[in-house]
Amino acid sequence: MRTTILNIQKMKDNGQRIPMLTAYDATSAKLVEAAGIPMILVGDSLGMMLQGHETTLPVTLDEMIYHSRMVVRGTSKALIVLDLPFMTYTVTPEQALTSAGRAIQEGGAGAVKMEGGAHMVQTVARVVQAGIPVMAHIGLTPQSVHKLGGWRIQGRDAVTAHRLIDEAIALEQAGAFAIVLETIPEQLGQEITNKLHIPTIGIGAGAHCDGQVQVFHDLLGLIEHPPKHAKRYAKLNEVIHQAVSEYIAEVQDGSFPTDAESFKMDETTLAALYGQ
């Protein structure tokens, strides 16, 4: 049975920290679930991690649904949250409801994530009312990178910090089951967490959030320059480089493949082949 939003809430209520990771395909999803991850985000960060874009903005809903299907097929226990991509939920609440419905029906997700503060409250309420769990997302919202003037820390001044607190409370009241806090000061992350009944999931928001989310490729060291908030738990880029280099060398010197990686005909078949 899959993890539900009630299980996630119970983790907060019991003081149990909530680990969350991105995954974009069946293989990575299977690996992180096997390690014990209870909640997987099919993030629109795939636009940067997989597609080579500079931002998340070019990612489409069809692409998110495609990747969500793979993640769902690779798992059986984790709660799968699909990141609704740029301009698929901000025009009207009805547009958001249609996109979220596709995420559930076609993508197989158990919840959706939407970026934005006060202007998203009505939309979140509408989607939740329709029976679709919503994870909110405030602070640095990557889909607003141009409006924000880049990848900048949010909530550093008192006015902005108070606004983010008010937005978090409003999103909780609208029915969000959890809220991502991205790239804000640690003290602000703690204050919002203390004021909310729903779980906060931090990414660059300090150690006092109820949970943390990180990008699969950052955690495993698959990219050259991870952001400040990411800790490398492995350096798989070096492992991959070494493995591929050894493969190239063995192909070129003829030591691969060996008999262990080859298939043989039996003697009778060989004789028939050569007409003997």
Domains of the chain, each with CATH number or no CATH? 5-234 (3.20.20.60), 239-273 (no CATH)
Burial 85-124 (b: 16+ CB within 10 A, else e): bbebbbeebeebbebbebbbebbbbbbbbbbbbeebbebb
**pLDDT, tens digit only, all 276 positions of the chain:** 999 999 999 999 999 999 999 999 999 999 999 999 999 999 999 999 999 999 999 999 999 999 999 999 999 999 999 999 999 999 999 999 999 999 999 999 999 999 999 999 999 999 999 999 999 999 999 999 999 999 999 999 999 999 999 999 999 999 999 999 999 999 999 999 999 999 999 999 999 999 999 999 999 999 888 889 999 999 999 999 999 999 999 999 999 999 999 999 999 999 999 986
Residue 144's identity, in one-letter code, is S
Is the peptide bond prior to 19 cis by the omega test (within 30 degrees of 0)? Answer: no
* Residue 182 known to be catalytic: yes
**What global pTM score does this model have?**
0.96
Q: Facing residues of 40 across strands? A: 21, 80
The catalytic residue among 33, 115, 167, 182 is 182
